[in-house]
Amino acid sequence: MTALTMVEAIALALSRAMESDNSVVLLGEDIGINGGVFRATNGLLEKFGEQRVIDSPLAETMIAGLAVGMSAQGMKPVIEAQFMGFIYPMVEQIICHASRMRHRTRGRLSCPMVLRAPFGGGIHAPEHHSESTEAIFAHMPGVRVVIPSSPTRAYGLLLAAIRDPDPVIFLEPKRIYRLNREEVKDNGEDLPLDVCFVLRDGSDITLVTWGSMIKETLEAADKLAQQGISAEVIDVATISPLDMETIVESVQKTGRCVIIHEAPRMCGVGAEIAAGLADTAIFHLHAPIKRVTGYDSVMPLYRMEKQYMPCVKRILGAVMEVMEVS
């Protein structure tokens, strides 16, 4: 095994998928010669050639349209949007064609494509490079939305996404691309989609999060442990479809829940999780559900970036509010 960063684990997964399946092709802006804006495809052009690692023009709508057509004809395209802020020209192809290909053809055709996009703040980029708008895609029937939070999960979940017979939006939290290294075994084994990962067992409160907010949430859980509060930490990983069963099971045990996400609060995925808990676990709750989120505003420029994003202090404050309710 080799200790890899998340972006290195993504490159490794892409390489493994292309080695094991000749129908897997990569398509995007600057992914070949330059190796991608964050170097997630570095070295793949030399390894697999320009027929399978395709540098495209600056035309996101075209990239998505090509991917829909290629996947409908038996290929498995993995396309890249350089930043989430550039993904919106692709949305028409995703929602009008990719997401409903199976339904439209009554199962005769499927659309096994993956759309990769770096997202989220924390790297001092302009506002449309730093957004977290995953809830837009979670609202599209027929599309899976997957968000890794570690090198190991990035490797396994990306392999699973590429092998999935339906379209997957694979959102990569770029703030933690190179945050830490983990031992990643290049064995070609994928991780299950549509399930949460319990990163830390606890008995007093459930902390639910995904993506880069895993870092602050685990740090908050460490500080809570020093105060005698046992926090269970859940990485949602696949935000659509949601694995509510795991979250409900945890809340039934702890009786309390705080949901943390970087995206704006209004109509965020956290609201859906809170509604699901209200539906199925309300009589197990000892206190109201709290959300710690970004604000309902455009992501500010880098001088105010830290004030926008949830931090350990805000998470601890929400937990204390919940714990005070008897």
Look up the CATH number of the domain holding residue 153: 3.40.50.970
The whole domain housing 131 covers 2-184
* Dihedral pair phi/psi, residue 27, rounded to 5°: -145, 130
> 24 and 78 in contact (C-beta within 8 Å)?
yes
Q: Is the pLDDT of residue 39 over 70?
A: yes
pLDDT digits 0-9 by tens, 265-302 = 999 999 999 999 999 999 999 999 999 999 999 998 88
Whole-angstrom distance, CA of residue 198 vs CA of residue 225: 17
Do residues 44 and 169 both lie within one domain? yes
> 168 and 94 in contact (C-beta within 8 Å)?
no
Do residues 6 and 44 both lie within one domain? yes
Q: Is the pLDDT of residue 11 over 80?
A: yes
Whole-angstrom distance, CA of residue 128 vs CA of residue 121: 10
Do residues 79 and 224 both lie within one domain? no
Do residues 149 and 202 both lie within one domain? no
Question: Is residue 116 left, alpha or beta, with left meaning phi > 0 and alpha meaning psi from -120 to 50?
Answer: beta
* Dihedral pair phi/psi, residue 15, rounded to 5°: -65, -45
From 149, 184, 219, give the residue that closes a domain.
Answer: 184
> 84 and 125 in contact (C-beta within 8 Å)?
no
Catalytic residues: 129
pLDDT digits 0-9 by tens, 83-130 = 999 999 999 999 999 999 999 999 999 999 999 999 999 998 887 789
